[in-house]
Amino acid sequence: MTVLKDIPEKWFPVFLPTQKKKKTGGKSKKKRTEEERKVKANDREHNEKFQYASNCIMTSKYNILTFLPVNLFEQFQEVANTYFLFLLILQLIPQISSLSWFTTIVPLALVLSITAVKDATDDYFRHKSDNQVNNRQSQVLIRGSLQNEKWMNVKVGDIIKLENNQFVAADLLLLSSTEPHGLCYIETAELDGETNMKVRQSVSVTAELGDPNNLASFDGEVVCEPPNNKLDRFCGTLYWREKKYPLTNQNMLLRGCVLRNTEACYGLVIFAGPDTKLMQNSGRTKFKRTSIDRLMNTLVLWIFGFLVCMGVILAVGNAVWEREVGSLFQSYLPWDPPVDNFMFSAFLSFWSYIIILNTVVPISLYVSVEVIRLGHSYFINWDRQMFCSWCNTAAESRTTTLNEELGQVEYIFSDKTGTLTQNIMTFNKCSINGQTYGEVMDSLGKQPKRLDFTPFNHLADPDFCFYDEKLLESVKVGDLHTHEFFRLLSLCHTVMSEEKSEGELVYKAQSPDEGALVTAARNFGFVFRSRTPGTITTTEMGRTVTYSLLAILDFNNIRKRMSVIVRNPEGRIRLYCKGADTVLLERLHPCNQELMNITSDHLNEYGADGLRTLALAYRELSEDDWEAWSESHRCADKATDFREDRLAAAYDKIEQDMMLLGATAIEDKLQEGVPETIALLSLANIKIWVLTGDKQETAVNIGYSCKMLTDDMTEVFIIGGHTVQSVRQELRRARERMIELSHAKDGGKDEGKEAWAEACFTGNGLKDGQKGDCTTGGASKQLHCSSFPSSASSDMDNISGEFALIISGHSLAHALEADMEAEFVSTACACKAVICCRVTPLQKAQVVELIKKHKKAVTMAIGDGANDVSMIKSAHIGVGISGQEGIQAVLASDYSFAQFRFLQRLLLVHGRWSYLRMCRFLCYFFYKNFAFTMVHFWFGFFCGFSAQTVYDQYFITLYNIVYTSLPVLAMGVFDQDVPDHRSLEYPKLYEPGQLNLLFNKKEFFICIAQGIYTSVVLFFVPYAVLSNATQSNGVPLADYQTFAVTTATALVIVVSVQIALDTGFWTVFNHMFVWGSVGSYFTIMFALHSQTLFRIFPNQFHFVGCAQNTLLQPVVWLTIALATAICVVPVLAFRFLKLDLKPQLSDTVRYTQLVRQKRRKPAGRSIGGAWRGTGSVSEGRLGTRGGSRRSGYAFSHQEGFGELITSGKNMRLSSLALANFASKHSSSWIETLRRKKNNHTPPSTSGECSPAPSNMSGMGPALSNSGSNSSSVLGGSQETPIEEETNTAIVLPSSSHPAALEPAEPRASAQVAPADSSTSAAARTDSPGGWTRSLETVQETLFGRRGCPSASNS
């Protein structure tokens, strides 16, 4: 075995981070740690000595023999299942069991069976998928001939033949292909999510081994790194014929790739099965649990503790009773044989009561929760409004465990390209020699017709859109600068071209940007046709021209530019360069100053429009210049140490004194509905952070396009420091500036600022030994840190104003350090928008983990590419967009759909409903079980603490699985407080979920208290009535069986009435289950008390004839009615008063909509309608903005094909705009609650009224002078026409502060009606007095806005 010191140094990064302790010898049962891999071609016996993994994969968990024991073992790892198994064992002990064993085993078996069937079904599909993959056929070279073998039988060291469009069976070293010089093309969408074509090349010495006979004699040995999950690197060496050849990732074909545009190729299997990089990257996704799950586990432990306490109380009571009273009955009621004293009797009584009272933790709770979640998942899958017809993709819930957490999201971390944008680039504008092209409007302001390039150029792409005819005329008249501009675009790239037929060109580009630029040059007469390693062939204005390709100076993220050096047919040598303006303009010749100023102005204009810009330049080279540079480049290329740095220096040397040609502007179109969705989520107090690998300028411009950033923001902070200290200073200055501007805006004094300034920061900003609770103004959860003095923390809490933070990747690396993270979180969370640029996939995940650590908030990550997978897996909820970058993000996600705009329905509709339903379900479930179980507790004081049950044992068995299970399931699956369109119109309805208001410890105790109160009524009312009651014939009714039937009947009726009151949305299933459960109770009870069953099983059915006898007595029904009234009336009274005095947001919405429907015809507008009414957002940018913001071109994140192309090997020929957001709702009751929840900081006393985020044309005088910003909260630019809409205000007779409640529909602008017209048009409501009083708070509760005094519109 190779020891560590013998391993090449370049392999250290691969395995040292996860290095395990070396084995010193001998055989071990555990798999040895592989430190390097040695593979010999065509020698299975040699390779089998190393016991490498076979190519068979197994993702399933069970087989026929192991399913039952393994599945049961897994299920009994759940505490609840183990608890009920323990109870079952107790019930088998006759001395302590008051109940038959079937009362526990029936529900336990039901739960275990349902779970087992679900697990078996899931594993069956895994087996099916595994078998499908393992049984694929592959051609393997065995003993000199190609034979078909199943993938599962392929071994390490085999040589495999792949044909076009086939999947790669294992990780292969490419030996040869049918393409010249061992080239082949692959698609890696299944591996890394990228859909663009990639090129791989074999080692030159094996490239000619194309014949199976030659390959059969190939006996080379590969020594390489051990299996790992790094997709972008491979280190190894090929030893053959006493020579060694270095191997890199460019020589490898990885499992999961597909061979494209290549007839056939041959490869040597290096890694197989679980050792392949694909399988190494498919590690188990960590199990995600919701906050309700965690709370429920805590509550179950509390309930178990409560159960033990009740058992102890009753056991003590038994001991006292047996000692004081029971001893008097020993003569005719002796103790059972094992019991010889009162203490032992109490001990047995304790366990008996644990069995009887175990239903406070019902086993049906867990299976009911899973059924409800499954139903919610199907509702998401079936939602036609989340179906994308364009790509024929429906929304998919890929998990059933997180649905209710969708209603509690506070932070969304989003990718940019492909998530917010379409990742479809279009050539939009350009600047050539100081002249800008692309801004075209006719005299009426309408967009002219798109240009038809076909008459001018038969090779033009028919899908290309451009409108400025001046640019085409400039090309036609032969303008030299224009020709040189498009010549550069046709030559300076690494695009692959495939010509399927004459004139039918297909471009394969590394990035959509490159493809857009080459396509633009193609349409304007400079057509890239084909390339070889040494030439580029183009068609220029109908004339075929072949350039000698001397060098490609490839792109990377540091250089931010690429260049090519070519020799034209006349022998002149030129360097063509394109790159980000920030790096290219500083490399121009001084004579370009005037042109550079003009072009910079154009770049600023393009950047302000949200376009991705790129500067173009060239340089003439003499033969001497070329020869001298070529030699230095050759030396740098062959260097063994610091090769990249030497090449970068060589590139930089020649990319100087260039002549500016112009600039291009490419548009990455926003997806439809992105600005509206972001606006709506922002109104729901959801904070959206954009984490992108793109450059800062591009990300910022997209931020403006989608209205995350606006020119009306108070300030935008840019963090760009390169050292820890500089980043800390910038963050500190940003916080100081926020507090200063906030105080200035609020008219406050400067004491807070002075206190902040005087605070002595040391290290990460703390006074020595000082600690504090830091809570940001824009956040709702407490940040447990010790970063700031308490005065500074208080100032950050009360920040008003809209701020944005933009931070680059290198600054973020410092901000994420342990001593800086609290400062970064505090600063970022005080901002309304955060954009992180140039971040790596790992940094995306680190940002998510940081917020999860410091803010007790639910996070969601959404992305569409393989680089988003780590972020998606780190967040509480991961969402994958099925877009242009493969399906890796979708496969790693919890939910997936095709468009970002569907996020609003996922959260505001499905998420809110799921949270609401689950909370109502849990509240009712705990209530009904405490009401059921606590009757036994009270009965214990009247039966000598003998563990006698109140109910018939069959009633105990069926109560949770028949009589009360279906109604609560129907409520948990179908219930809703407001319709889906109202959830979208009133995004503030989402906030109770973020604050966890509907189910928490307080709500739990309220439910428990109600259940205990109900149990008291259900026991003592029948006990008091029946103790002295008699039948009509004088026979007393005070017997145990009559009491049991009366109490059980009253219980079923009370809990059925209660769920009828709790249900807010009735469907046919609710009616059927609620009333059907009551009917089934009577049916089953009469059957169980019948003479027939008693005759068959006389020892099992003791209540013979009791139901008929009891329910014929009028006093029994009066008792049931009295108990029901005493249980229900206080609940009704409490709810009426609560609705009247302090209505919830959903109550207010329902009532307001009811009033509006009575007073006027419903407008019928919805969010979707608003989009359709104003045109498609996808048609382009959403308006312009002021300011000078420069955008730069964003290349692909990985190295281009430059080095491969120039290697000397022959290549084959081949809707509404939203300008403002609602300000912070400092005066709303929800915000007050949020502040109390954080750190008991008193709410801001600012007198500013934050505008209601809604369509407010009917608000009249209430809004006429409500603030300095009289435009729409969700309004567009000044140029957007105002939509007329007449709404009737709701004027409250008893209030001096009238307020209207309108939906938060994004509009171009909100019309504020004049005071007199609004007042005259107002309709008065003849509502009950309570509602007229409570509606005064309607606007405040919905939008965090107090009604402003009526005033004139002067």
Q: Could you give the residue numbers annotated as active site?
A: 415
Instruction: Indicate the burial class of 532 (C-beta count within 10 angstroms; 0-12, 13-18, 19 or more).
Output: middle
Q: How far apart are CA 952 and CA 954, in angstroms?
A: 5
Q: What are phi and psi of 489, to 5 degrees?
A: -65, -30
DSSP classification of residue 588: B
C-alpha torsion sign, points 927, 932, 936, 941: positive
Q: How far apart are CA 159 and CA 77, in angstroms?
A: 46
Amino acid letter, 78: E
Q: How far lies 1260's CA from each of 691, 1144, 1280, 1288, 1321, in Å?
A: 42, 25, 22, 9, 9
Would you say 361 and 83 are in contact if contact means Cβ atoms under 8 Å apart?
A: yes
Would you say 908 and 892 are in contact if contact means Cβ atoms under 8 Å apart?
A: no
Which residues make Cβ contacts (< 8 Å) with residue 1035, sequence separation at least 6?
none
Reference 279, options 254, 245, 305, 308; nearest CA is 254
Amino acid letter, 891: L
The C-alpha angle with vertex 432 and arms to 431 and 436, in degrees rounded to 5, equals 40
Would you say 678 and 1217 are in contact if contact means Cβ atoms under 8 Å apart?
A: no
Number of CB atoms found within 10 A of residue 1329's CB: 10
Q: How far apart are CA 340 and CA 350, in angstroms?
A: 16
Would you say 703 and 695 are in contact if contact means Cβ atoms under 8 Å apart?
A: no
Q: How far apart are CA 694 and CA 418, in angstroms?
A: 12
How much helix, strand and coil, in percent to the nearest 5, is found in the chain?
Answer: 45, 15, 40
Q: At what angle do helices 790-797 and 724-746 cross, to 10 degrees?
A: 60
Number of CB atoms found within 10 A of residue 1304's CB: 26
Strands across the sheet with 221-224, in order? 37-40, 221-224, 236-240, 243-247
Q: How far apart are CA 780 and CA 1228, in angstroms?
A: 13
Q: How far apart are CA 811 and CA 805, in angstroms?
A: 12
| Strand, helix or coil for residue 806 | strand
Would you say 266 and 161 are in contact if contact means Cβ atoms under 8 Å apart?
A: yes
Amino acid letter, 922: L
Give the burial string for 224-254 (b: 16+ CB within 10 Å, else e): bbbbbeebeebbbebebeeeebebeebbbbb
Q: How far lies 651's CA from each of 556, 638, 659, 1230, in Å?
A: 12, 15, 17, 59
C-alpha torsion sign, points 58, 63, 66, 68: positive
Q: How far apart are CA 1081 and CA 1075, in angstroms?
A: 10
Would you say 774 and 796 are in contact if contact means Cβ atoms under 8 Å apart?
A: yes
CA dihedral 42, 48, 50, 56 (to 10 degrees): 100
Q: How far apart are CA 223 and CA 173, in angstroms?
A: 12
Reference 1273, options 1339, 1194, 1193, 1354; nearest CA is 1339
Q: How far apart are CA 580 and CA 1279, in angstroms?
A: 32
